[in-house]
Amino acid sequence: MHGVLALLNRDEGFEIVDKPTAMNRRSFLAASTALGIAAGVGGLSPSAAQAAPHPAGRTRSFRTALSVSPFTEAMLRTVSFTDGRRVARTVDQMQQLFVAHGSTEVFARIATRRSAASGDAEHGFARGLERARLARRLRLPFNPELGLWAVYGDIAYQPEPDFRDYPGLGPAAPWTSLTIDQMLPVLRRYGAVVATQVLSTGATVNVWDLGNEIEFGMAGVAIRGAVTEADGWTYAPPNAVDPAIGQMDFGALLAMTEPDRIAWLRAHLWPHLGRMLAATAAGIRSVHRTAKFSAHTSTIAAGSPTLSSAFWSAMRTAGFLPDELGTSFYPTSYDYGDRMATFKTLATTLRTTFGKPVFVAESGYPSATMSPPYAWNSPLPGYPISPQGEANFFRDLVAWGAGSGPLSGVRPWAPDYCVGGWQPMSFFTVSGATATAEPVLDAITAGLKAVPAS
């Protein structure tokens, strides 16, 4: 997730030029909560963590998914990073700094276009292969996320893929003019091609993520979103899949009662998404036979255990139940109910219902008041908007959910994106040309140390 509202070719030789996008998608959450969809989400020392009791169950490893982000190269053009002992001036050094504070993997968000600049971010496949080689050099697992859009998309809008950089992959016709049965073999071939290229770097992939905040659509099979134009893209309804999809818009879907919303999604959208996810996974598995998968929904779904359970049930029925059930969780983006308690109910419910752990695919908590377009300033009780409040949030979330709890890992989103409106969500404070770590950099490690022995 980043601000969007405010092949088999050689993988070397690309110079990325960042360009601005027109809008930022975060402000839509305030509107969505007003309509009721997100109501009710719910220097450190290990002894400070107040861990909740864990349900009985086996202990597993925890993914401390601190990673360089799609913004890292842009940040390093103007600042260096330090934790007070180390200084990072390169991408490799930045990831090594994260490893020194517990990081267990390298992440990349990958668009279908080879170069895919959007604001300060670069999501192109060329950059994804760079991240794979980084993981190989540092002997870390690699976690690629195939967004299945040309440049970028999230809960606010889900553009179609653009396969022009994959000669012979197809299709010749515009993507949104295809039927679902015409889309599926293309997605399968795409998964195989990308997996071949990623694995050829020598990287070891731990989990393949598919899509980005996908409960309202994916890969162009999506409702008319809160954003209808971005990064040179304009919404086109997937009428050959189901004309009802293009007739539904973001506001109308949110205005429904939750039972009606779920019923509409089950009837018109979710069965197609499940088949698309299954086809992409089949392509990857044709190359990587032991591949593990995840996919994730948004903070909207994180506010509703009922909606989330219905979504994953529909995916399972359509043939895709991943190894980890992912979700975004930005609790200060709305102010309804006990958001931490609701999230704990969500994670426990999903783990119990589906027998799969929950991965927090994106999360953040501000260390200072955020300004538009990222005005996510509704603190949780007991967690003030401050450097220590931010650290305590991550520490306590991990202390509760790791070990025999329902969480398999946490990815703080863009911890190195330390300029502009996102800075309070990053893990660094900038002074001049230096970005200095805040206490939150050690919070996940502190949470893990506080997990009760099992």
3-state secondary structure string, 195-225? HHHHHHCCCCECCEEECCCCCCEECCEECEC
Residue 337 has a pLDDT of 84
Residue 365 has pLDDT above 60, yes or no: yes
Give the lowest-confidence range in 85-94, 170-179, 235-244, 440-449.
Answer: 170-179
* C-beta separation of 378 from 389 below 8 A: no
> For 245-286, how does the pLDDT look when each residue is reduced to its tens digit (9 = 90+)?
999 999 999 999 999 999 999 999 999 999 999 999 999 999
Mean pLDDT of 430-444: 98
b/e string for 127-140 if b means 16 or more Cβ within 10 A? bbbbbbbbbeebeb
> What is the CA 169 to chain-centroid distance, rounded?
26
Residue 14 has pLDDT above 50, yes or no: no
CATH topology of domain 28-449: TIM Barrel (3.20.20)
Residue 31 has pLDDT above 70, yes or no: no
Nearest to 279 by CA among 161, 160, 185: 185
Residue 172 CB neighbours (<10 A): 4
According to DSSP, residue 167 is labeled T
Q: Taking each helix axis from N to C terminus, what angle separates 305-318 and 339-354, rounded to the nearest 10 degrees? A: 30
In which band, very low, low, confident or very high, does the pLDDT at 233 lie, cut at 50, 70 and 90? very high
Integer-rounded Cα radius of gyration of the chain: 20
Give the lowest-confidence range in 36-45, 142-151, 200-209, 231-240.
Answer: 36-45
Mean pLDDT of 38-67: 49
> What is the CA 142 to chain-centroid distance, rounded?
15
Residue 398 has pLDDT above 70, yes or no: yes
Nearest to 217 by CA among 181, 189, 242: 242
According to DSSP, residue 40 is labeled T
Residue 8 has a pLDDT of 27
The residue with greater pLDDT, 12 or 310, is: 310
3-state helix vs strand vs coil in the chain, percent to 5? 40, 15, 45
Amino acid at 332: T
Residue 281 has a pLDDT of 98
Residue 437 has a pLDDT of 98
In which band, very low, low, confident or very high, does the pLDDT at 454 lie, cut at 50, 70 and 90? low
Residue 39 has pLDDT above 70, yes or no: no
Looking up tokens 């913004």 gives: 71
Cβ partners under 8 Å of residue 148, min gap 6? 112, 161, 187, 210, 211, 218, 219, 276, 280
Cα atoms in the 13 Å half-sphere on the side-chain side of 262: 16
Mean pLDDT of 54-68: 71
Mean pLDDT of 214-226: 98
b/e string for 21-49 if b means 16 or more Cβ within 10 A? bebbbbbbbeebbeebbbbbbbebeeeeb
H or E segment to which residue 136 belongs: helix 125-138
Mean pLDDT of 16-23: 32
The residue with greater pLDDT, 35 or 281, is: 281
* C-beta separation of 138 from 95 below 8 A: yes
Residue 388 has pLDDT above 60, yes or no: yes
Residue 33 has pLDDT above 60, yes or no: no
Residue 414 CB neighbours (<10 A): 25
Mean pLDDT of 309-335: 97
Q: Model pTM?
A: 0.89
Nearest to 297 by CA among 330, 258, 345, 256: 330
Q: Please provide residue 45's backbone torsions phi and psi, each rounded to the nearest 5 degrees.
A: -125, 140
Residue 171 has a pLDDT of 74
Residue 438 has pLDDT above 90, yes or no: yes
Mean pLDDT of 237-248: 98
Dig out the tokens for 263 from the structure.
């019923």
Provide the phi-psi class of 220: left if phi over 0, else alpha when psi is between -120 and 50, else beta: left
Residue 32 has pLDDT above 70, yes or no: no
Q: Are strands 80-82 and 434-437 parallel, antiparallel or unpaired?
A: parallel
Residue 60 has a pLDDT of 63
Residue 34 has pLDDT above 90, yes or no: no
CB burial class (10 A; 0-12, 13-18, 19+) of residue 366? Answer: buried
According to DSSP, residue 154 is labeled B
Residue 361 has pLDDT above 60, yes or no: yes
Looking up tokens 């200060």 gives: 332
> For 130-164, how does the pLDDT look when each residue is reduced to its tens digit (9 = 90+)?
999 999 999 999 999 999 999 999 999 999 999 99
Residue 328 has a pLDDT of 98
Mean pLDDT of 215-240: 97
Nearest to 55 by CA among 395, 351, 312, 309: 351
Residue 453 has a pLDDT of 79
Amino acid at 270: W
> For the chain, how many helices (H) and strands (E)?
14, 18
Residue 49 has pLDDT above 60, yes or no: no
Residue 78 CB neighbours (<10 A): 11
Residue 6 has pLDDT above 50, yes or no: no
Average pLDDT, the chain: 89
Provide the phi-psi class of 15: left if phi over 0, else alpha when psi is between -120 and 50, else beta: beta
Domain ranges of the chain: 28-449
